[in-house]
C-alpha cells in the first residue's frame, strides 16, 4: 500500500472522497442553511427564528438604527439595529432574529471585518514568497510526477 505501485490509489481515493463531499454539500447545504430569499418567500415559517448571518456586506444605511446587508449571492435584507456609522462596503457577521414582514433584528454579538482588502494583499504576498522559495529549491519531475531537490 505504501509503495509507488499504488500511487494512483493514494491519489484517486482522496480525490473521490472530496468530490463526494462537494456534491453532498451542494445538495444538502441549501436545505440546512436557508438564505435571505428563503426567509423572504415564507416569512411566517421563519418568524422569530434566531440565525447567524456570516460575511455579508453593509450596503446602505436607512437611518440611525436600520441598514441593508447583501449576502454573497446578491440578495439583500434590512436589519434593525445599531452599528457604527460609515461602514458602507465593509463586511459584517452578526446574530439576528427574523421578524415576519421580512427584516432582521440585530442581537448583541456582531463583528465588522475591518481592512479586509489589506489583509488579503499581505496574505497573497506571503503566499507568493513561499511559493517562490519552494520553486527555487525544488523542481517538478514529469517522469516521476513528484518534486525533487534541485541540488
Q: Each residue of 105-145: pLDDT tens digit?
A: 999 888 988 877 788 899 999 999 999 999 999 999 999 88
Give the pLDDT score at 3. 66
Give the chain's domain count.
Answer: 3
Location of C-alpha cell 505501485: 5
* Residue 98 and residue 55 in one domain: yes
Averaged pLDDT for residues 86-98: 90
Task: Give yes or no: residues 106 and 131 share one domain.
Answer: no
d(C-alpha 78, C-alpha 58), whole Å: 10
pLDDT at 1 over 60: no
CATH code at position 100? 2.40.50.140
What is the rounded CA–CA span in Å between residue 31 and residue 27? 8
Render 84-129 in DSSP notation, one character per residue. -SS-TT-EEEEEEEEETTTEEEEEEEEEEETTHHHHHHHHHHHHHH
Instruction: Read off the pTM.
Output: 0.63
Burial class (CB in 10 A: 0-12, 13-18, 19+), 79: buried
Amino acid at each position: 500500500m505504501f509503495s509507488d505501485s499504488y500511487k494512483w490509489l493514494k491519489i484517486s481515493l482522496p480525490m473521490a472522497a472530496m468530490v463526494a463531499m462537494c456534491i453532498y454539500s451542494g445538495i444538502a447545504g441549501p436545505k440546512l442553511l436557508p438564505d435571505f430569499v428563503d426567509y423572504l418567500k415564507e416569512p411566517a415559517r421563519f418568524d422569530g427564528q434566531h440565525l447567524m448571518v456570516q460575511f455579508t456586506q453593509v450596503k446602505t444605511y436607512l437611518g440611525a438604527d436600520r441598514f441593508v446587508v447583501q449576502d454573497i449571492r446578491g440578495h439583500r435584507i434590512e436589519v434593525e439595529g445599531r452599528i457604527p456609522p460609515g461602514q458602507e462596503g465593509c463586511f459584517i457577521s452578526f446574530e439576528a432574529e427574523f421578524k415576519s414582514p421580512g427584516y432582521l433584528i440585530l442581537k448583541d454579538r456582531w463583528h465588522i471585518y475591518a481592512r479586509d482588502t489589506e489583509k488579503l494583499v499581505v496574505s497573497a504576498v506571503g503566499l507568493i514568497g513561499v511559493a517562490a522559495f519552494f520553486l527555487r529549491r525544488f523542481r517538478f519531475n514529469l517522469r516521476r510526477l513528484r518534486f525533487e531537490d534541485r541540488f
